[in-house]
Amino acid sequence: MAILLNLFIGIALANKLRWNNYDFQKKTMKIYLTDQKNNFKKHLDFLKTKLVMNYDKSKLTEKNTTIAINTTKKIDELNLDFLFDYQIFPDNIMTFKTQWTDENRIIKIGDTIAQQVYIPPTKIFSQKIIFGVRINEIIDQADRKGFSYETLEGHVEKGVSTFTVEQFDNKIFFKVQTYSTPENILTKILGPIFSVPYQTFCTKTALNNVKRQLENQ
- The domain spans of the chain are 2-215
How confident is the model at residue 13, as a pLDDT? 44
Strands 127-141 and 112-119: antiparallel
Strands 157-168 and 144-151: antiparallel
- Residues facing residue 117 across a β-bridge: 94, 129
CATH 3.40.630.10 fits 2-215, yes or no: no
DSSP 116-134: EEEESS-SSSSEEEEEEEE
* Low-confidence residues of the chain: pLDDT under 50: 1-27, 191, 193
How confident is the model at residue 28, as a pLDDT? 57
How confident is the model at residue 6, as a pLDDT? 40
Q: Which amino acid is at 72?
A: T
**Judging by beta carbons within 10 Å of its beta carbon (0-12, 13-18, 19+), is residue 76 exposed, middle or buried?**
exposed
How confident is the model at residue 195, as a pLDDT? 61
* Predicted structure pTM score: 0.85
The Cα–Cα gap between 197 and 16 comes to: 21
How confident is the model at residue 187, as a pLDDT? 57
Nearest to 132 by CA among 119, 116, 120, 146: 116
